[in-house]
Chain A
Amino acid sequence: MSAVCILTPLVVAAWPAFSAAVVAAASSLGYQVVAGETVETHTTTTQTNVVQLEIARSEVVTSQLGRDQRIIVTRNGVTVTFSRDVRGKASLCVTGEGQSKQELKALGEELSQTVVQQYVFQKLTDEMRNRGFVVVDQEVNEDRSIRMKVRHWEN
């Protein structure tokens, strides 16, 4: 071994790549996608709590035509709407009846972290394949981290 690095991810993605990561993350946590790339208006009641979060170090690149793109996922009465805010950051709105704001925040953070993980996994896999790297082993650990062993032969 010659070096060990810890890297902090930057999410700079076009909407299709970002929404693919949302779908993969949502599926892995048992959420269902209820609408993709469609604007929906939510009616809220007094019992419904709402928490707004953003994905740090993210930038969702989109065309002028796709400014209102969003993707909505649900699980057990909790609805999470992913969209791109005016600054281009990926944001999510978590709503749920009978859930405290702290619970919704925790659920939103779990989901947004998984989105980042899935985005990094997909980007790494694609970029390494393009550069001739070979994934020889891959597994998901109990703590939900993804481990890959990759080889590359240099001339």
Chain B
Amino acid sequence: MPQREFDITINKDGSVELHIKGYKGRACLEAAKLFEKIVGETQSESHTSEFYEPEEEVRRHLDQSHGL
């Protein structure tokens, strides 16, 4: 079962900084949408290198096809 981790900082003005960890690829966008639904509008969003890695399902297929 994949573990997802979220570092959340609620600033004193109520704005929220959200660091989403443990996702490969665009799957983290779904998590970001969930927090947007709870908190409010997304003011800015940046992606780390993991965002551009293949998603887990794609990666499993790739590993299988390469006999890993």
Contact = CB atoms under 8 A, between A and B. Distances in A.
Contacts of B7: 147-150
Contacts of B6: 133, 148-152
B14 to A, nearest CB: 3
A124 B10 contact: yes
A57 B21 CA distance: 29
A54 to B, nearest CB: 14
A2 B48 contact: yes
B17 A149 contact: no
Given A124-B10, A149-B6, A4 B20 contact: yes
A2 B13 contact: no
Closest 4 CB pairs of A and B: A116-B14, A10-B40, A2-B50, A7-B16
A26 B11 CA distance: 17
A117 B8 CA distance: 13
Interface of A: 1-11, 57, 113-114, 116-117, 119-121, 123-124, 127-128, 131, 133, 141, 143-155
A6 B44 contact: yes
Interface in B28-56: 28-29, 31-32, 34-36, 38-48, 50-51
B12 A143 contact: yes
B40 A9 contact: yes
In the complex, which of the residues A2, A7, A117, A145 has the most CB atoms of chain B within 10 Å of its own CB atom?
A2
Contacts of A2: 20-25, 28, 47-48, 50-51
A125 B46 CA distance: 24
Contacts of A133: 6
B10 A4 contact: no
A153 B3 contact: yes
A7 B5 contact: no
Given A7-B16, A147-B9, 4 more contacts: A2-B51, A5-B20, A150-B6, A154-B1
